[in-house]
Structure formats: structure tokens, C-alpha cells
Chain A
Amino acid sequence: MATHTFRRSRLGGIALLAVAGLTLSACSTGGSSDSAEGGEIEPATITFAASTFGDPGLGPRLQELVDEYNASQDIVTIEPAAVPFPTFGQTVLTQMGGGEGPDLVRFDMPEFTSAADAGLLEPLDDKIDADELGLQEGPDQYMFVNDERYGVIFDTSNYVMYYNTDLIPEPPTTFDEFMDVAKATTQGDVYGLAFRQTQAEENGVWQDIFNYVYGFGGEWSDGEELTLNNPKNVEGLEAYQSLYDANVIPKGADAATFRKMFAQNKVGMELNNGGYLVATRGTNPDLNFSVAPIPFPVRAQGAIMAPIVINANSEHKDAAMDFINWVLEAENQTSLQEALGASSVATKTTRSDEQLAETPFLPVYDELTNSSSPQIVVGFGPQTADIRKIVVTQVISALQGQQTMEEALDNAQDEAEQIVG
């Protein structure tokens, strides 16, 4: 098994910074079409695949950004490719494994680490100068696999606590308050809280329990060894189970169902990422809600981190790099940030007064960027899907009373160790 390490951006490719810096400065002025090597870019039409292009809220905004790039020069044309989220990773990875695929891809972290580990991505060490670009260190540290940079953050959606302000005027600030508020809000067909807890939503359960594990000081690994049965993990997941057992959630309801319930004032609280803001407003523009940091003992939560990468099979890597450089320009980062709403981008940007007036709680998301982690098992990125399946199966077994949470995580540790060797 390959060892996968992540490191801070400042450690990456220092010897190459001078060359990369010159290149970037050349590329970052006015949407220059110079190649990363300093030569001319051949005219090309390239594809950029992202599941978000198909999102009814985000898609049109991202399309506008791409159109802006296409209009800024006449050498490279980007064609967006919208692949639906549920099958995005499999579709694109299978294409890339077969030697094809889009030139540019916006991946989620598990697929990013798998693709990088399999050598399907173009290394970007000599093309990106994190310091000069001012990339945010928190998320940027995860852009390295086997000590090599393979991507740049396109967007990051941090997990926060959404709460209905009609049902819950003051958000809880501790786990005990969280439990009390959830219990007090649960009445009739109104539930205090909602989270995923069924096998059919394995990926969603993983995302949800991630917040409990990290929010209680746990972690899935120390980067080199799996720590699935770490006592802190047990504590976090026992907290998750205590909410399940307290009957404060609509049990058996899938995310689509309980998110509609949240929009209909039937659910008081939900832990979700920044992308949920646009979706919730789209479902019910009149809903009164706000967000707060997740009230668990440790300020650490999951995040949907989505790097933009260049397919190693691409015949137009320079053209693809030109788009990345263009996106990383300060002005375009601000445009991207505005398009994304509550999500963050690669660099720190300033929210406009207009945005803040419309959504006063936007800074809550932004302040969590450096304490958020991608929902992968650090050091075991390519095996995350297998580990996830084991952990979720064991946790659900514990929820259904077939074993204690401690036993569940001990079993998960044993099973997962057999897989990772």
C-alpha cells in the first residue's frame, strides 16, 4: 500500500517557486494565454467536468464564470460537462482509467485522492505557488498526495449547524444544550433534529458522523495508522447514538425527505455544509433560519472540499492550466465566491456589503475554513470508500442495538486493518 501524506503548502516545491512564480505572474495578468512553460498555448476547446454544473442553483452561476473566461481571450474555449453528482466519481474515474476523460475536473476529495494515487492527475507542483497566490493553508494542505500537488481548491463548503429561528430562537452552544433543544423542539410531527442513519445513504451517514467524531476530538487516522476505535471517536458516536435513541429525529427519513421537512418548519436543526444555503432558499424562500458553528466540544468539522485538477490524459494541459490560473486571479476568486454563496474558495476573499446584507451569517462559514477537514481518512484517501462502508455498516448495527458503539468501532478497526494491510 502506498503511503499518502498531506503537508502544508509552504513545504511544497520550494526549489521550483522561482520558475513557477514567473510563470504564474505571466499567466495571471489579464487572462494571459501563455502556457505554463512560457510558450504559446495552442488553440483548443477543452472540457471541464463538475457535478455542480447540473445544480439548479449553482449551475447557471458557474456557467457565467466560464463564459466570462471564454470571452476574456480567443485561444481556449471551456465547455462545461455536467455529470450528475451521484455517479460523478465513478463516471469520470472510469473514463480516466480508460485513458480518456475531461481535461479539467472538479473532484470531491475521495475521488481526488484515488485519482492522484493512481497517477491519473497532472502534478502541479511546478505550476502553483501557494504563497504568492495566498492559498488558504487549511484546505490547501490536502491538495498533496505522496508529497506532490495535484490540485487547487475550487470550492470548500464547511459544515455548520442550520437552525430554524422560528422554532429555535437561540442556537445551542454546547452538546448538552443541543440535546435539550432537540428534545424540547420535538413535538408531534415536528422534530428537533435530522441526520442520516440508513445504509442506503452510506455516503451521507459518513458525512454526518464525521462531524461527531471530529467534533468530540476524534479522528479516523493519525495519518499513518487507522484509529477508528479511538476513545474520542467512541465518545462522539455515542453522542450521535444518544440523539438517535432520544427519538428527536425522523427515523428512516432520507436526506431528501428531512430537508423538505426542514424547509417546511418540521425540523429544527440540521448539520450541513454551505451548499445547503442556496438549496434551502430555493425550496422555501420564506423560511426563517440561520447558522451557527456546530456546538460540539472541539471546533473541528467536516467540509466538502472540491479541488480542480488536470487530467493526465489531457492533450491540452497548458490550456487547462490557463483556466486554473485565471480562476485563481483575485478578481475572479471574488466572482467565484459570489457565485458559490456560502462556500469558500482557494484564497481568502472579502464578502461584498450586498452579500452580507442578504446573508448576515456568511462569516460563520468563512471562519470555519481553517478548522475543517475533508471527509476522507487522512493517509488512506484511496481506501476511504472501503473504510467508509465498514464503519457505516458497524455504526448502523450499533444504532439498531446489535452491539455497543465501542464494539462496533473495534470491529470496524479489525475489518479495516485487513483491507489496508
Chain B
Amino acid sequence: MTTLNARASRRRRSPLGSRWTPYVFLLPAAAYIFVFQAIPLLQEVYLSFTRTNLLNPTRSEWIGFDNYTRVFASSDFQQTLGTTAVYVIACVVGAVGSGLVVALLLNGSFPGRGIARALVTVPWAAPGIATALIATWMLNAQYGIITRALRAIGVDVGESGILDNPDLALPAILLTTIWQLFPFVAVVLLSALQSVPTELVEAAEMDGANRLWVFRVVTWPVIRPTVGLIALLMTIWSLRRFELIWLMTRGGPLGTTRTLVIDLYSQAFDSKQLGAAAAIGMVGVVIAMIVVVGSRLVTRAAEKDTA
């Protein structure tokens, strides 16, 4: 008895058994987030209210909301916001849509399925910079294979080529982005599809449901949370995507591919205005927060409906 009491007492005193244990495990992650995310974010908030030059970052001048006033009054920034919205929405819809179609195809049974599943991940595995450079070459106005092919079939891409055509540059970047993203969506959704109970599918088919109906009443409810999560990730990633756009067009021609992050970079490193760049960054943060909160609200509403 005495031995048992002593053991119990030791267990209670053990650091692993105390009520602080969860906090100890959380501490490294919390410290990481505080140092590498919270502090920079707070610094960005502060910078956005100052006039700060990249070349003299320690000499800031507090100017209140001037950066925000100037940014929102600029027609260029309004164009940037519009372009960002189009880019993000098209990326999410395009990547999730094409990824879902590919996942459904790969979930079927056909010869060479294993090879097809492996091959489809290649674009996702390719480095973003390599993808951008290869796409730029394929779209080159003189030698690009895509440009030549389009011209050969009579499509007018303009004399200066696709990436310098204000009407075609953004679609070209979007297609490149979606090409790179859809494998990730496809692979994740494929794993979600494999958790769909086959007996439910078979029962629905025996009841005479066609493929579309089976998808709607059986498959979709199972994969919907995964699709929601992927759409959220795609939105955040698309909001902050930089290298592909920068390498392909640097935000041109005529600002038609200038998204928030491109504008931010340009303000910070071309114009050297860290304050204005921070204000643009804060706009991006607010948009991202709205997306995350909105997504959570939609998910909860959907869960309530299901319950």
C-alpha cells in the first residue's frame, strides 16, 4: 500500500503529469510564432503608419493614416486589387475544379493507373522558378512553342507576344499557375475520394442513381470538408504568390498582372518606401483574415446543416 501511494505521489509530482505539461509542449511553437510571426506583423503594423525609407529604416516619421489614404486613392492600387481578386478567384476555381476532375478520373479503374497517378504529380514537384522560366520560354514571342502553335492555327496573339499583350498576360499566368497547382488538389482529393464508402456508392447505383447523382448525394458530402480546406489554402497561397508572376511579367504589361505582393515588392524595393509597402501588406493581411474567418463561418454553417 505504502509502495502504491509513493508511486502515485511520484506520478503527481512528475513534470510530465502536471497541468503545465501541455503548455510546455506548446511553448516552442508559441515562441516560434511569437518571434517569427507576431513580432514582424506588429512591426509591419507600425511601419504602415510611418514614412520609412529602405535606405534609412531606422529614421521613421509617424504619419498616421497617410500611407493608407494615398494607397487607396491611387488608381493603380485599385487596379491591383481588381487584378488580385481575379487572379485569386480564377486560381482557386481553376485549380480546385481541374484537380477534382483529375482526382475523379484517377479514382476510376483503368490500365496504367499507377503510372498516371505518379505522372500527375510532376507539375507540383517542379520548382516554381523553373516553371516560370520554362513557361516564359514557351510563351516567347519569337521562339515560343505555344506562340508559334497558336499563330500556326490562326490565333492572333499580337506582335509582341502573349506575355506583353495586356489582354493575354493574366490568362497566361493563370494557366501556368493552375497547371502547377492542380496536381496537389488532385492528390489530396484522390485520398478523400478513397474514403468514400463503396457500399454506399453501390447501393445508390443499385437504386438506379446515375453517376452525377451518386457524386452529388454520396461522394460530395464526404469530400466537401477537404475541398473547403483546399480552397482556403489555395486562396491564401494565391494571395501571396510572387515568384511566378514576377519572373513572367513583373506585374506588366501596363499593370495588368500586378497583384498585391508584386505591388508590395515594387514599393519596398523599387520605390524604397517601406511604409507604403507595409500599408499594402496590411491590406493583404486583412483580406487573408476575412477569407479565413469567412471560410470558418461557411464551414460551421455547413456542419450545422449536416447535423
Contact = CB atoms under 8 A, between A and B. Distances in A.
B271 A118 contact: no
B163 interface: yes
A317 to B, nearest CB: 19
Contact of B255 (A90, A385, A393, A400): A393
A115 interface: yes
A252 B159 contact: yes
B25 interface: no
Interface string B43-57: 000000000011111
Contacts of A120: 55
B140 A118 contact: no
Interface in A242-269: 247, 250-254, 257
Given A90-B269, A253-B140, A198 B56 contact: no
Interface in B240-298: 248-255, 266, 269-272
B142 interface: yes
A198 B253 contact: yes
Interface in A196-219: 197-200, 202
A60 interface: no
A396 B250 CA distance: 14
A44 interface: no
B140 A252 contact: yes
Interface in A123-174: none
B141 interface: yes
Contacts of B164: 198-200, 252
B160 interface: yes
A199 B55 contact: no
Nearest to A90: B269
A91 to B, nearest CB: 10
B56 A97 contact: yes
Nearest to A201: B250
A172 B287 CA distance: 57
A360 interface: no
A369 B142 CA distance: 35
Contact of A200 (B142, B166, B249): B249
Interface string B126-148: 00000000000000111100000
Nearest to A198: B164
Contacts of B159: 247, 251-252
A118 B253 contact: no
Contacts of B249: 199-200
A251 B161 contact: yes
B55 A96 contact: yes
A96 B58 CA distance: 12
A114 B55 contact: yes
B55 A253 contact: no
A98 B160 contact: no
Contacts of B161: 251-252
Q: Would you call the interface of chain A mostly helix, strand, loop, or mixed?
A: helix
Contacts of A386: 270-271
Nearest to A252: B141
Contact of B141 (A118, A199, A253): A253
A199 B271 contact: no
Interface in A87-118: 90, 93-94, 96-98, 114-115, 118
Contacts of A393: 252, 254-255
A72 to B, nearest CB: 34
A386 B269 CA distance: 11
Given A94-B54, A385-B271, A257 B143 contact: yes
A335 interface: no
Given A120-B55, A251-B159, A198 B252 contact: yes
A400 B270 contact: no
A252 B54 CA distance: 33
A400 B143 CA distance: 21
A400 B53 contact: no
Nearest to A402: B254
A195 B214 CA distance: 59
Interface string A380-412: 000001100100010011001010000000000
A400 B166 contact: yes
Contact of B254 (A115, A199, A247, A251): A199
Contact of B270 (A119, A250, A252, A385): A385
Contacts of B160: 197-198, 251-252, 400
Contact of B56 (A119, A197, A253, A257): A119
Interface centre among B140, B141, B251, B272 (most CB of A within 10 A): B272
A257 B140 contact: yes
A250 B142 CA distance: 7
Contacts of B143: 257
A402 B165 CA distance: 12
A258 B166 CA distance: 22
Interface in B25-72: 53-57
Nearest to B266: A389
A274 B24 CA distance: 64
B16 to A, nearest CB: 44
A199 B253 contact: yes
A94 B57 CA distance: 9
Contacts of A251: 141, 159-161
Contacts of A202: 250, 252
Nearest to B164: A198
Contacts of B53: 97, 118
Contacts of A115: 55
B60 to A, nearest CB: 12
Given A115-B55, A200-B248, 4 more contacts: A90-B269, A199-B164, A251-B141, A400-B254
11 contacts: A90-B269, A97-B54, A97-B55, A115-B55, A199-B164, A199-B249, A200-B249, A252-B140, A389-B270, A393-B254, A400-B166
Give 6 closest A-B pairs by Cβ, nearest first.
A252-B141, A199-B252, A252-B161, A118-B55, A252-B160, A251-B159
